[in-house]
Amino acid sequence: MATDASVAPVLNTKPGIQSLSPFGAARSTVEGAPLTADELRKTNAYMRASLYLCLGMLYLKQNPLLKEPLKLDDLKARLLGHWGSDSGQIFTYIHFNRLIKQYDLNAIFISGPGHGAPAVLSQSYLEGVYSEVYPEMSQDEEGMRRFFKQFSFPGGIGSHATPETPGSLHEGGELGYSISHAFGSVFDHPDLISVTMVGDGESETGPLATSWHSTKFLNPITDGAVLPILHLNGYKINNPTVLSRISHTELEALFIGYGWTPYFVEGSDLDSMHQAMAATLERCVKEIKSYQKQARDSGKAFRPRWPMIVLRSPKGWTAPRDVDGHHLEGYWRAHQIPLPDVAKNKAHLKLLEDWMRSYKPEEVFDSEGKLIPELAELAPTGNARMSANPISNGGIIRKALHLPDFRKYALAVNPGITNKGSMSNMAEWLRDVVAKNLTNFRLFGPDETESNKLGGVYAAGKKVWMADYLPEDEDAGNLAYEGRVMEMLSEHTVEGWLEGYILSGRHGLLNSYEPFIHIIDSMVNQHCKWIEKCLEVEWRAKVSSLNILLTATVWRQDHNGFTHQDPGFLDVVANKSPEVVRIYLPPDGNCLLSVMSHCLESKNYVNVIVADKQDHLQYLDMNAAVAHCSKGLGIWEWASTFPDEDPDVVMASCGDVPTMEALAATALLRQHLPDLKIRFVNVVDLFKLISNDDHPHGLTDKAFDAIFTNDRPVIFNFHSYPWLIHRMVYKRTGSHNIHVRGYREKGNIDTPLELAIRNQADRFSLAMEALDRLPNLKNRGSMVREKLLEEQIMARNDAFEHGIDAAKYREWVWPYGPKEEGVIGAVQSKLGLGGDDQPAASVVGTSE
């Protein structure tokens, strides 16, 4: 097992300047010159047309064809946009067009490098799609003028591949997700090739770095192919990129290590680069086809070392190499506007004009501004054009799921007595969702599906695994080449796959531990922005919602410790636009079923569902659950006292564990104060609490007051940080009366039992909180308070006997004041507390 000689450890003492330069005649792994002289000439001309359009977008508001000499007035006053990666992307796009036509391919183009929109916009314009979608951006001089002017201009479009960009399903504002999006798009699209430009800056991000491993989850029979083109243009905003500054040996080894076959195309000389890229892309397409054919003909899936391309070309390729003694082409100065001072520097204005004219617009566009026919013919037609592929506007091809009727999966409920797992029950329904939608739905998660009690779905669709197998895999038997569950220990990758999957017209669900969902805060954030923007783009059809099921929730994370306790993802989501976010906290199993079914049917939302995975109390039969979830919140009359009367106090809850404790608190109060009028309210749909002015689900003030009253104390037991409720209700008349208890980042509850004890302490403190808020009770209140306190001291005694620390206990139990401390001290000394025995196993949840 000696190290391979050719990749043996060598000291990299001498910088490999020669091999790292992006300049010169093409150097490529694949040899050959497949283009005829005429094809070469046309390809070059098409590229010039596209590059000309890019510069036009960056600079011009008029004189689009440079029919007049370029003058200051022709320029936009504020120059914005990025030139750096445009040429390399255009180069790739054009060469892939040739293969689409030659091999009748079904392809989309994913633009990974940041701010590379001019490349794909110019291509879309040249192939006519842009004018079809936006008729005012016609293929003539005036249309071209508008097309230029709108770019990075008020009322126009941005500098990323935003939703307004035909053919785009990947905006690229935040970097790192091009490869995972691409894989998501090709799963269950066996004929699709997603041509994916990957920026070398983007490649440094964590999410991108691990997403190369996605090949271990792609089946060549049922899925299409991703063809990545790593674009080594060498620079980020202000630094070289790491991958452009390592040796050829390392770079090649890296991609072989990731499981790909890297083909290199390097250089700047246009003619030889065109030949090299034509030959290399063709080789890649043939390899892809050949692997697919082998697998499909034999019916035996395998993991090929799929082809990918490393394209090393100068940053800002085809720009002037040097300006005023500083490098432009091939340097980071070409990142954004290449000549930023043209408005002030006449020589630079002239330089820009010469540069633009060097693309010979008069040769490639006719006098009306239309691309000349011999070039227009180079692009594919109809939906074969990458910017017209309906897959990139997935809502168009989306088919509704065949959803089994969730009512048939109802838990039989003896309210408040049945103790069952909501999640494992829901898994049975989910299994059948999988079974009925075997090419249209996938379940995603970071190695937690089984732990999250959703393993039941494997009966309908196993876990996809295309890496190697060992004989012992038979033992559990849940891995398969073909499956419906996607698990990799990268929240970024599985979320990226899911996004790509739904944006290309399918359906899915991500399950994750609640505490670690913050890892993808930013991805969810960006997806919210994407779908919100899509609402404004007429031709974009709505896609399936991004469904995120959170479990292993904060209230059950005693055994995993403090690092595993954080319910704050809800705050991040609640900041997003009300048009696109929904948050549900079903209190029990039948509500979970109802909510999940609703979410899987919905479109264009980010749905977040929070539910416990352990056994817990069940309350509502299916009819009641459906009615409750349809309203989103409601009074639980069966849990209230004197439901026909105005309440003295409202006990409210949101979240399953908090609901259990709030009900227990209500029972305590009812026991000790049988004539107290308690209204019990449960909230499933969190946004019901917000004003209807601020969210479409929000209640009117009148409806809100009808449930919560506007003058009675509301004791609100909440799953997450309490402030989230306060910020939602601050506009309500009775907001001052709403007293919220929730998770607080205190006390370092990181050993078993502590959190369970804390949960149990809740019922006492909730009840006491209610008493505190009811001054009219006076002496009666005090008496009950003392009784409750005695009961709690007994419970606390149990806790101490189980090893709970007294200081911590006091910290958790909010309403303890000095008054009670005295009583506690007395009872404590009477009973002689402080034992140090074992916790009873039954007191706590099971572990994961």
Which 138-167 residues touch a copy of itself, going by CB under 8 A?
152-160, 162
Using rule CB under 8 A, residue 715 touches a copy of itself: no
Q: How far is the CB of 364 from a copy of itself (least distance, A)?
A: 28
Q: How far is the CB of 806 from a copy of itself (least distance, A)?
A: 10
Which residues lie closer than 8 Å to 750 by C-beta, 6 or more apart?
Answer: 561, 562, 563
The smaller minimum CB distance to a copy of itself, of residues 575 and 700, is found at 575
Q: Coil, helix or strand for 554?
A: helix
The smaller minimum CB distance to a copy of itself, of residues 104 and 745, is found at 745
Among 89, 422, 437, 490, binds a copy of itself (CB under 8 A): 490
Using rule CB under 8 A, residue 477 touches a copy of itself: no
What are the two backbone dihedrals, phi and then psi, of residue 451, each rounded to the nearest 5 degrees?
-60, -30
Contacts (CB under 8 A) with a copy of itself, residues 77-96: 77-80
The per-residue DSSP string of 367-400 comes to TTSPBPHHHHTTS--GGGSGGG-GGGGGGGT---
The smaller minimum CB distance to a copy of itself, of residues 702 and 746, is found at 746
Among 168, 210, 292, 389, binds a copy of itself (CB under 8 A): 210
Among 36, 299, 326, 477, binds a copy of itself (CB under 8 A): 326
Q: How far is the CB of 321 from a copy of itself (least distance, A)?
A: 10
Q: Coil, helix or strand for 660?
A: helix
The smaller minimum CB distance to a copy of itself, of residues 326 and 830, is found at 326
Q: How far is the CB of 398 from a copy of itself (least distance, A)?
A: 23
- Tokens at residue 51, please? 């590059």
Q: How far is the CB of 311 from a copy of itself (least distance, A)?
A: 14
Using rule CB under 8 A, residue 302 touches a copy of itself: yes
Contacts (CB under 8 A) with a copy of itself, residues 515-574: 515-516, 518-519, 521-522, 525-526, 528-529, 532-533, 536, 559-564, 566, 568, 571-572, 574
**353 in the Ramachandran plot: left (φ > 0), alpha (ψ -120 to 50) or beta?**
alpha
Contact 663, 717 (CB under 8 A): no
Residue with tokens 């969810």: 524
Contacts (CB under 8 A) with a copy of itself, residues 748-777: 748, 750-754, 757
Q: Coil, helix or strand for 475?
A: helix
CB contact burial 223-249 (16+ within 10 A = b; e otherwise): bbbbbbbbbbbbbbeeebbebbeeebe
Residue 702: burial class (beta carbons within 10 Å; 0-12, 13-18, 19+): exposed
Q: How far is the CB of 625 from a copy of itself (least distance, A)?
A: 30
The smaller minimum CB distance to a copy of itself, of residues 406 and 816, is found at 816
Using rule CB under 8 A, residue 289 touches a copy of itself: no
Quick one: which segment of 6-14, 40-48, 364-372, 385-393 binds a copy of itself (CB under 8 A)? 6-14
Contact 728, 581 (CB under 8 A): no
Contact 464, 489 (CB under 8 A): no
Contact 704, 676 (CB under 8 A): no
Lay out the site mask for a copy of itself across 716-755 (x = CB under 8 A, - = otherwise): -----x-xx-xxx-x----xx--------xx-x-xxxxx-
What are the two backbone dihedrals, phi and then psi, of residue 127, each rounded to the nearest 5 degrees?
-90, 5
The smaller minimum CB distance to a copy of itself, of residues 97 and 717, is found at 717
Using rule CB under 8 A, residue 209 touches a copy of itself: yes
> First-to-last CA distance in the chain?
39
Among 86, 141, 188, 202, binds a copy of itself (CB under 8 A): 202
Contacts (CB under 8 A) with a copy of itself, residues 48-77: 61, 76-77
Contacts (CB under 8 A) with a copy of itself, residues 252-271: 252-259, 261-262, 264
Q: How far is the CB of 65 from a copy of itself (least distance, A)?
A: 20
Judged by CB under 8 A, the number of residues near a copy of itself is: 170
Using rule CB under 8 A, residue 10 touches a copy of itself: yes
The smaller minimum CB distance to a copy of itself, of residues 328 and 502, is found at 328
Q: How far is the CB of 561 from a copy of itself (least distance, A)?
A: 4
Using rule CB under 8 A, residue 173 touches a copy of itself: yes
Round to whole Å and give the CA distance between 294 and 402.
Answer: 32
Neighbouring-strand partners of residue 633:
683
Quick one: which segment of 354-362, 368-376, 397-405, 442-450 binds a copy of itself (CB under 8 A)? 442-450
Residue 326: burial class (beta carbons within 10 Å; 0-12, 13-18, 19+): exposed
Using rule CB under 8 A, residue 471 touches a copy of itself: yes
Among 147, 187, 406, 465, binds a copy of itself (CB under 8 A): 465
Q: Which amino acid is at 109?
A: F
Question: What does R_g of the chain's alpha carbons equal in angstroms?
Answer: 31
Contacts (CB under 8 A) with a copy of itself, residues 819-848: 838-841, 844, 847
The smaller minimum CB distance to a copy of itself, of residues 706 and 840, is found at 840
The per-residue DSSP string of 510-542 comes to EEEEGGGGGGGHHHHHHHHHHHHHHTT-TTPPP
Among 493, 553, 604, 653, binds a copy of itself (CB under 8 A): 493
Q: How far is C-alpha 246 from the geometric centre of its chain's CA atoms?
A: 31
What are the two backbone dihedrals, phi and then psi, of residue 444, each rounded to the nearest 5 degrees?
-115, 150
Contact 143, 131 (CB under 8 A): yes
Contact 720, 741 (CB under 8 A): no
The length of the chain, given as a count of residues: 848
- Tokens at residue 433, please? 């969702």
Contacts (CB under 8 A) with a copy of itself, residues 333-392: 336-337, 343
Query: What are the distances in angstroms from CA 130 to CA 110, 152, 186, 387, 613?
Result: 17, 16, 24, 8, 49
The smaller minimum CB distance to a copy of itself, of residues 267 and 781, is found at 267
Q: How far is the CB of 357 from a copy of itself (least distance, A)?
A: 24
Minimal CA–CA distance to 547: which of 577, 566, 568, 573?
573
Using rule CB under 8 A, residue 330 touches a copy of itself: yes
The smaller minimum CB distance to a copy of itself, of residues 445 and 587, is found at 445
Among 237, 347, 627, 826, binds a copy of itself (CB under 8 A): 237
- Tokens at residue 541, please? 């059809």
Q: How far is the CB of 392 from a copy of itself (least distance, A)?
A: 18
